[in-house]
Structure 1
Amino acid sequence: MNMLKIVAVPMHKEGRKFVAIFAAITAVLYFVWMPLFLLGVVVTVWCYYFFRDPVRVIPQQQGLVLSPADGIVSLIEDVIPSPDLGLGDAPLTRVSVFMNVFNCHVNRAPVAGKVTHVVYHHGKFLNASLDKASEHNERNSITIETDEGVRIGVVQIAGLVARRIVCFVQTGSMLGVGHRFGLIRFGSRLDVYLPKGVSPLVAVGQTAVAGETVLADLKDPTRQRVGVPE
């Protein structure tokens, strides 16, 4: 195994200016006080790590709904989706993935399809792990419609530290499953709204990997998760 590929993970271009800023400040701190310089080095390395964009192995089985984010599955509940998603007013299962400041923050499409809605809302910056964050926090709502006409809602939610939601797509854009569609700076949450009758294949507390972890199976919607906590 090539250890260099593990340590030198590619960085997303959105992070270049931040790493450059931190590196410049760190260089100045070298002439001020050595402990501050060392702290600057640590912060610069963390910034690079935050914006890492590792290669992912995307499952190719048809009908899978993949996690759009790295993090912990923090909530699974039936709620009425935001009107911004255009998914109706009947309760749908929402799977929330919470990202801390050490997770990779590049967001990936849970399914392949056409983007039919992109709606941005200004809001508060509450703890993204809280349920009310879906309603009150700054957020960006995206709906993706598959070739079979199934619609999946994805919401990028800012958190306590996050102050910028970045979205790379617009209405009419075509996305492949696992393709990058945005990121959030720094620490946040992604909500995925599953179609009615589709059971989640993850559990609260489970670690999710963007573009790899399977959240649900549209081809076998009643399939249940098999596993026991340890």
Structure 2
Amino acid sequence: MRIHKEGYATISLTIVVLLALNLLAGFFLSEIHLLRQLLFVVSIVLFLLVLQFFRHPQRKITRNEKQIIAPADGKVVVIEETQEDEFLKDRRIQVSIFMSPVNVHVNRYPMSGKVVYSRYHPGLYLVAWHPKSSTENERTTVVIENGAKTQVLLRQIAGALARRIVCYPQDGWMVKQGEEMGFIKFGSRVDLFLPLDAKIKVQLDQKTRGGETVIAELA
């Protein structure tokens, strides 16, 4: 199993803290064997949970300029027409994917093209499924324009647990569908804003796999 580079520091810190706790337990609780054993088991479980969160599985990417693919693993929680006012300034179909702490948290480009807009916005930490999380939570917004001048906006949103969003692209970058765009730590959400004539290929509550599940087909 590969581990994502964004997890190296967190995993190292987890090892140090858990090791220190177990060494202290061995010194101060030397006579309470059951408690020491319980702490050891809990430490192993916590370490494995942190390790699985930063897993980075390989995905088979099939690029298609007419398709929008899932930017993240998770569950589709929103499919609706809405107004996008940060950059596009028009009506769009919003598709939102919620990532629980057990999902892979690597984010991927939904299509190939040029990054025409990339911005970070500080904000609140409402639960990721809250209706206002898309506009009030800490977030990053990335807009990609393909060769046909179609623009798709993607928004990474921090949740109640996610306190760090990593977003790699900068204005002017040329990006490829399915490649890494960033990472969000410990539970979060990704919103896609698609053209109104896009044919949506997913349903509410459907599970998605980043880089593989087809979200929509462009006209």
Inter-partner Cα distance in structure 2 for 1:41 and 1:128: 28
Unmatched tracts of structure 2, length 5 or more:
26-35
Q: Over the residues paired in the alignment, what is the CA RMSD in angstroms?
A: 1.1
Number of the residue aligned with 2:31: none
Number of the residue aligned with 1:16: 8
User: How far did 1:62 drift?
Assistant: 3.1
Number of the residue aligned with 2:88: 87
Is the aligned partner of 1:59 residue 2:51? no
User: How far did 1:130 drift?
Assistant: 1.9
Identify which of 76, 80, 83 aligns with 1:77: 80
Number of the residue aligned with 2:98: 98
Q: Which sits farther off after the overlay, 120-129 or 153-162?
A: 120-129
CA distances 1:163-212 after superposition (whole Å, capped 9, x unpaired): 01101111111110000010111100000011131121101100011000
- 1:24-39 to structure 2, matched below 5 A, reads 24-31=16-23, 32=25, 33-39=36-42
User: How far did 1:81 drift?
Assistant: 1.1
CA distances 1:20-74 after superposition (whole Å, capped 9, x unpaired): 1111112122221332222122111111111111111112333110010100000
Inter-partner Cα distance in structure 2 for 1:64 and 1:199: 9
- The answer to whether the Cα contact below 8 Å between 2:65 and 2:112 also exists between their aligned partners in 1 is no
Helix, strand or coil: the match of 1:17?
Answer: helix
The AA in structure 2 aligned to 1:75 is V
- The answer to whether the Cα contact below 8 Å between 1:128 and 1:188 also exists between their aligned partners in 2 is yes
Inter-partner Cα distance in structure 2 for 1:61 and 1:141: 23
Number of the residue aligned with 1:155: 155
Helix, strand or coil: the match of 1:42?
Answer: helix
Q: Which sits farther off after the overlay, 60-69 or 110-119?
A: 60-69
CA distances 1:201-230 after superposition (whole Å, capped 9, x unpaired): 101100011000000111xx3xxxxxxxxx
Inter-partner Cα distance in structure 2 for 1:163 and 1:60: 32
Inter-partner Cα distance in structure 1 for 2:182 and 2:12: 21
User: How far did 1:18 drift?
Assistant: 0.7
Helix, strand or coil: the match of 1:80?
Answer: strand
Helix, strand or coil: the match of 1:142?
Answer: strand
- The answer to whether the Cα contact below 8 Å between 1:94 and 1:194 also exists between their aligned partners in 2 is yes
- The answer to whether the Cα contact below 8 Å between 2:74 and 2:97 also exists between their aligned partners in 1 is yes
- 1:1-230 to structure 2, matched below 5 A, reads 9-31=1-23, 32=25, 33-83=36-86, 86-88=87-89, 90-218=90-218, 221=219
- The answer to whether the Cα contact below 8 Å between 1:178 and 1:211 also exists between their aligned partners in 2 is yes
Inter-partner Cα distance in structure 1 for 2:174 and 2:40: 45
Helix, strand or coil: the match of 2:84?
Answer: coil
Give the TM-score, by structure 2 length.
0.92
Q: Which sits farther off after the overlay, 95-104 or 169-178?
A: 169-178
Q: Which sits farther off after the overlay, 98-107 or 39-48?
A: 39-48
Inter-partner Cα distance in structure 2 for 1:189 and 1:206: 14
Q: How many matched pairs?
A: 208
Helix, strand or coil: the match of 1:193?
Answer: strand
Identity across the alignment (%)? 38
CA distances 1:109-161 after superposition (whole Å, capped 9, x unpaired): 00001111011111111110122111111110000011221111000000010
